[in-house]
Amino acid sequence: MDKRVRRSSVFITSSLLPLLAAAATGSATTAVPAPALFGFTPDQVAAEQALEQRFDGDLNASDLRGWLKTLSAEPNHVGSPHDKANAELVRDLFKQWGWDAQIETFDVLYPTLKHHVLEMVGPTKFVASLTEPAVAGDASSERTDGLPAYNEYGGDGDVTGDLVYLNYGMPDDYKDLARRGIDVKGKIVITRYGAGWRGLKPKLAQEHGAIGCIIYSDPQGDGYSQGDAYPKGGWRPPSGLQRGSVQDLTLYSGDPLTPGVGATKNAKRLTISEAKTILKIPVLPISYADAQPLLAALAGPVVPESWRGSLPVTYHFGPGPAQVHLAVSSDWGLKPVYDVIAKIPGTQSPDEWVLRGNHRDGWVFGAWDPLSGHVAMLAEAKAIGALLKTGWKPKRTLVYASWDGEEPGLLGSTEWAETHAAELQHKAVLYLNSDTNSRGFLSAGGSHSLQRLVNDVGGTVKDPETGATSLARLRARMMAAGYEKGASEQDRKDARLAAAGGDLPIEALGSGSDFTPFMQHLGIASLSIEYSGEDDQAGVYHSNYDTFEHYVRFGDPTFAYGVAEAQTAGHIMLRMANADVLPLQFGSFADTVDGYVDELHKLADGRRKSAAELDKLLDQNAFGLAADPTRAVLPPARAPAVPYLNFAPLENAAARLKTSAKAYDEAYAKLVAGDVKLSAARGKELNELLRGMEQTLTDTRGLPGREWYKHLIYAPGMFTGYGVKTLPGVREAIETDRFDEANQYTTVTAAVLTAYCDRLDRATALLKQGI
């Protein structure tokens, strides 16, 4: 997931200046008072702070640099020699630092390219290079043994047809085509990256009858329009292309042949034809250098402004006269993925696991994605190992995982989670994920019961560039962004929230990294943490130029933000491992859910109003009268009438959740203040209730049409891919005009929230009883 701070000018009102100054020093006059260390009683704070200081003292930026150079020295995609060598190296490092480490291997379907070709056969001839030449000053890019241009889990095929330009290839783009009488059936489509996950583009093309799909990186969003191209700057050069998986992750992640079970040696497997996440049509990623001749050869109507990129051509819809030959042939065999799993058993609660993970495999060298985050995780593991040598041990069991096969479809993490599902649901109290990492701002997403903990830790880690805390710098950014020229209403809302003090919100998680099987499938409380926002990583994302040389110029040259990442994630892990009672706060979750319910109201009301306005315009023939007679564009199709939905069950559940959360948080505050004492037995009972809180937000039936996704609060969207949909059973039903289903899932979602409240109320009763 790529989260970037905008770089345009900022306009700040005089009333905001005192708050910005306060944020820069790490304080805000309106901030809500918080315990000295969330989750720890006054008599425990000094010891925990001293532990974290010792941990920080063992983090060394030179370690991160050295590991990154070694791990990214050769291509490390699934099946490559360096992928296995890296797994063995990481395992040996963990053992050297005192961890119990081993490699778990899974056999997954992993197609590898045998042959591909893309050529224009009429009206002129052109053969796409499908290669990425070496870049001056980047020795890694001179290697020729990397994975070629390829979209994993696209279909095999040899097709020829007229070319159609399809913008981003999202659902609304097909509506625009239909208004112009253009059909992609029997044709090859070319789409640009952006506006949605890459796998949706060929999936939708296939559903609309296209015989092939080409995906290119337009320089408007991923090249010279954003900044200087590599090697002068960090952005994608003309021949840079973006590999990636097109597996239909909206249905399930992991091995396509073993949904719901681990891909062990003896696992029962589907046939390839039975696997729903594999596409049937051929797909290829290409560079904008290869895309330009294809787009220039298209005729037909000129596309609207929102469809135009930055190439020096006039963008036309087609179809034709450009005719394209596209062929892809793959070896559809099983390949091993190597997960490194390292553990330190807890002394008091060994059956409560605090999990940490970052994937290790890349599309080529993977210096940015994922190894910049992976080396920060290694730094944490080494520092924890140093603590072990002093005699310290965690109260809960620490489990660190170096995942393989994330890039093709979260393979390593999903297969491990499915293999150990029952044990994880019984023992896991947290899964903390990371991926890429670079200069910039703290970015966190996940279960909102962990929002207070993230804020507390962020308030203790210093930002390397400013000396303020990471939280203070993030607060300042949010406040400044609200006064940026062209700021959105959401930016202004966030600015007001940040200026008011108190906790900053964390994001909801959809998909796109290894938290997915833990959170959305198993219902384990999860976080994903990174630093980002001041880099040019988009320029090399999934390309041959995601190299050590590029990262040390444009990512984190001093590796100071790698150290900050290790501090942030490491402190969270240590606090979750050491707190007597799990450091969760539920008011943030209750407020968040209340906001989601309000969004559903606005969504339904907005669609109802829009449908009525469209009907009026159609009845008045407004589109026909407004149209240019020389450029035929049909009016939009009528939208279904939107009924008034029954949100009462959700509203009642959300209201009760706020009451239950307030009662628990108040009782917990007394505990951490030292006003309430818990016996060991009662503390164990309380932690058992807290451990299972997130699982009560799942439903065994899963989401409509994709039963693997069981979390009813957060899920990746069917038409967003990585992007999250909150209260997804209801929200997506409204968005797709399935109103009976929306009413059904209003009740189903309210039921899991009610169960959540019941469990939380039992936890509150335990706290109030004390000893």
DSSP for 442-482, written as a single string: EEEEE-GGGHHHHHHHHTTSBPTTTSSBHHHHHHHHHHHHT
Rounded Cα–Cα distance for residues 461 and 344 (Å): 25
Q: What residue spans of 673-710 are helical by DSSP H?
A: 680-691
Distances (CA, A) of 200 to 153, 193, 277, 405, 570: 13, 11, 11, 20, 35
What does the block give as tokens for 292?
A: 């330009």
**194-217 pLDDT, tens digit each:** 999 999 999 999 999 999 999 999
Residue 329 host element (H or E): strand 323-331
Residue pair 272/109 in contact by the 8 Å Cβ criterion: yes
Q: In what order do the strands lie in the sheet with 428-434?
A: 100-109, 334-344, 396-403, 349-359, 428-434, 526-533, 440-446
Residue 424 host element (H or E): helix 421-427
Strands 428-434 and 334-344 come out as: unpaired
Residue pair 172/146 in contact by the 8 Å Cβ criterion: no
Q: Closest Cα partner for 538 from 408, 436, 403?
A: 436
Neighbouring CB atoms inside 10 A of 11's CB total 12
Low-confidence ranges of the chain (pLDDT < 50): 1-35
Q: In sequence order, which residues have a C-beta less than 8 Å from that of residue 417 and are 6 or more positions away?
A: 424, 517, 518, 521, 522
The confidence score (pLDDT) of residue 16 equals 40
Rounded Cα–Cα distance for residues 109 and 414 (Å): 13
What does the block give as tokens for 580?
A: 């007597």
Per-residue burial over 571-593, b if 16 or more Cβ lie within 10 Å, else e, is bbbbbbbbbbbbbbbbbbbbbbb
Neighbouring CB atoms inside 10 A of 122's CB total 14
Rounded Cα–Cα distance for residues 256 and 258 (Å): 6
Q: In sequence order, which residues have a C-beta less than 8 Å from that of residue 273 and are 6 or more positions away?
A: none
Residue pair 393/347 in contact by the 8 Å Cβ criterion: yes
Residue pair 426/351 in contact by the 8 Å Cβ criterion: yes
Rounded Cα–Cα distance for residues 165 and 590 (Å): 45
Q: In sequence order, which residues have a C-beta less than 8 Å from that of residue 467 and are 6 or more positions away?
A: none
Residue pair 284/116 in contact by the 8 Å Cβ criterion: yes
Per-residue burial over 709-739, b if 16 or more Cβ lie within 10 Å, else e, is bbbbbbbbbbbbbbbbbbbbbbbbbbbeeeb
DSSP state of 313: S
Q: In sequence order, which residues have a C-beta less than 8 Å from that of residue 487 and are 6 or more positions away?
A: 481, 495
| Residue whose token pair is 């991923």 | 222
The confidence score (pLDDT) of residue 591 equals 97
**Exposed, middle or buried by CB within 10 Å (0-12, 13-18, 19+), for 442?**
buried
Residue pair 276/301 in contact by the 8 Å Cβ criterion: no
Distance of CA 6 to the CA centre of its chain: 19
Rounded Cα–Cα distance for residues 489 and 408 (Å): 36
Residue pair 116/130 in contact by the 8 Å Cβ criterion: yes
| 435 half-sphere exposure, CB direction, 13 A CA radius | 24
DSSP state of 250: T
Neighbouring CB atoms inside 10 A of 393's CB total 15
Neighbouring CB atoms inside 10 A of 694's CB total 29
| Residue whose token pair is 């179809």 | 319
Name the pTM for this structure. Answer: 0.95
What does the block give as tokens for 454?
A: 């993230």
Residue pair 526/432 in contact by the 8 Å Cβ criterion: yes
Q: For the CA atoms of the chain, what is the radius of gyration?
A: 26
What does the block give as tokens for 67?
A: 């590991």
Rounded Cα–Cα distance for residues 636 and 633 (Å): 9
Residue 569 host element (H or E): helix 560-578
Rounded Cα–Cα distance for residues 131 and 126 (Å): 15
The confidence score (pLDDT) of residue 137 equals 95
Residue pair 258/409 in contact by the 8 Å Cβ criterion: no
What does the block give as tokens for 677?
A: 């004492």
The confidence score (pLDDT) of residue 7 equals 29
Neighbouring CB atoms inside 10 A of 145's CB total 10
